[in-house]
Amino acid sequence: MKKMLFLAAALSSLLFAQSETETCKKCHPQIVDEFEGSMHRNATYYNDPIHKGAWDLHPLKEKGDYSCKECHAPLAKNEEEIKDGVTCASCHTIKDVEEHAAKNKNVFGKNPKTFYSAEAGREKEKVIYKQESSWFGMNKTTVGSPYHDIDYTNEKFYNGQMCMGCHSHRQNGEQLMVCETGKEGAQNKEENCITCHMPKVQGTATTIRHSQTHAYHGFAGSHKNPEMLSKYVDLEFNKNSSGFDVIINNKAPHNLMLHPMRVVELRVNVTSDGKVTPLKPLSFVRAIGNENGPSMPWLANQVVTDTMIKANEKKSVPYTDALKKGDKVEVQLGYYLVTPKAAEKLNIQEKKELQKFNVLKQKSFIVE
Ligand code: HEC
Ligand code: HEC
Ligand code: HEC
Ligand code: HEC
Ligand code: HEC
């Protein structure tokens, strides 16, 4: 009965106009809290300074044509809603994904209150909420959510393909591939975009029907929670006659970094007889640009350099520094979201936290 009263309270407060997340928060508080800090929620020029920097320089801005919206705030109908970025419904109403050469396209379901989702064991269920019989009548059949219907039958929510309307690839006007994630990570239920980037974490998915865990909605990525992904990258060490190798093992089914602004860096320190020697850092990038070198994505017509660590690559990096028994070799693999130089172009120099070196993985080895 307590539950019912709570529900009544939740439902009556829904009658007042409020933002989508405030509504969802009534019954999915933990998921909404996680989501508030995510890059999806913060994907537009209101909350993402990198996006704002790029948009401010973009030729479409002058024309007032915020076409970026298609992926950065797909359901926004006005300026106010652009603030909300990629909303709950922008994902949960994706029915299908159409494939196209320049970029894919999300196909949304007809009913804005039918949410697609995934749950092991319920793959064949469609939960339709019937007001009279199951809620206000307080019958035994109060299955599902009193606010929306749920369709568990969309396999794209099990294999990660629902992420691919926005994440698959994007070409610019020059038909140059600006970024590409690759389909390999959206093939099966066992390991895909969702299992890696939305791992199950402690806490109930809804306040109404308790579960031990729920899919993490803060989205682990390069801005947020990279530590949740560090287990998918490994570092190995191999001493040989001419020095040593550091082996980077990328277990992700896509390039280690995807956006052309990112720079991956490998740092190695050798400690010998108490003296620390930092070796020269090594960078891995996929830079795009034109005849004049690296450029903003929309001005690029070629790949300038591509040393990025590829999908599932095991990359061996040779060092010719001599080591002796007992030396300590500390290895750090990390990345910059934007380099200080790019930050200058984007006019975000004062945003120091976006220019710092982020450690993804570190390990140390003692020479035997
Ligand atoms: C009045 C309470 C209530 C509100 C408000 C509500 N939900 Fe739900 N929702 C539920 C309940 C209860 C379930 C679990 C149904 C079940 O397990 O049978 C659920 C389940 C879901 C699921 C599927 C979960 C799964 O098992 O995979 C999604 C997705 C979802 N809600 C999204 C939303 C979004 C987005 C909003 C805001 C627009 C929202 N909900 C608002 C009560 C609510
Ligand atoms: C086809 C979908 C799509 C369209 C259209 C799109 N983007 Fe994106 N954008 C993405 C995705 C997905 C990411 C995240 C990828 C990543 O981090 O590798 C992203 C990331 C970015 C980033 C990096 C943000 C950061 O915080 O590091 C910038 C900048 C950006 N987009 C700018 C734009 C601009 C400007 C436009 C419009 C001119 C645009 N995008 C249009 C899908 C799109
Ligand atoms: C085996 C686990 C795994 C799978 C599967 C996976 N990823 Fe990743 N992903 C990673 C790792 C590791 C990184 C790099 C670490 C980081 O960004 O913090 C990453 C980074 C990213 C980034 C940030 C890249 C950038 O340049 O900022 C995006 C966006 C992303 N993945 C999207 C996807 C999508 C979409 C899929 C499904 C097609 C997918 N991932 C599948 C592990 C995975
Ligand atoms: C970027 C896409 C995306 C966004 C945005 C998103 N979700 Fe989800 N959500 C998913 C996917 C995919 C799943 C299925 C994960 C699984 O269980 O495998 C899911 C699962 C859920 C579940 C069930 C969780 C569980 O583990 O049982 C609920 C409830 C839910 N979402 C609510 C929300 C609410 C509320 C919002 C907005 C605050 C939201 N989602 C935003 C993609 C998204
Ligand atoms: C409606 C479009 C859309 C869909 C669907 C979508 N994303 Fe995104 N995603 C974006 C955009 C846009 C960004 C870049 C936001 C920014 O940095 O401003 C992004 C960023 C990310 C990032 C980078 C986060 C970080 O901290 O850097 C990850 C990881 C990610 N998405 C994973 C997923 C996964 C997994 C799915 C499927 C469950 C998914 N996305 C579905 C549009 C989408």
The gap from C-alpha 42 to its chain's centroid, in whole angstroms, comes to 12
How high is the pLDDT of residue 146?
A: 76
| pLDDT, tens only, 40-91 | 999 999 999 999 999 999 999 999 999 999 999 999 999 999 999 999 999 9
* Ligand 3 atom with minimal separation from the 191 CA: 5
| pLDDT, tens only, 105-125 | 999 999 999 999 999 999 999
| pLDDT, tens only, 84-110 | 999 999 999 999 999 999 999 999 999
How high is the pLDDT of residue 140?
A: 44
75 lines ligand 1 (CB under 6 A): no
Token match 């803060």: residue? 218
Angle (CA) 127-133-134 rounded to 5° is 50
- Residue 170: band (very low, low, confident or very high) from pLDDT cuts 50, 70, 90: very high
How high is the pLDDT of residue 20?
A: 85
- How far apart CA 178 and CA 162 sit, in angstroms, is 20
> Whose CA is closest to atom 16 on ligand 1?
144
| pLDDT, tens only, 4-47 | 445 544 454 444 456 889 999 999 999 999 999 999 999 999 99
- Please give the distance, rounded to the nearest whole angstrom, from the Cα atom of residue 188 to the centre of ligand 4: 18
- Residue 145: band (very low, low, confident or very high) from pLDDT cuts 50, 70, 90: confident
70 lines ligand 2 (CB under 6 A): yes
- How far apart CA 107 and CA 117 sit, in angstroms, is 15
- Residue 128: band (very low, low, confident or very high) from pLDDT cuts 50, 70, 90: confident
* Ligand 4 atom with minimal separation from the 215 CA: 26
* Ligand 4 atom with minimal separation from the 194 CA: 12
How high is the pLDDT of residue 338?
A: 96
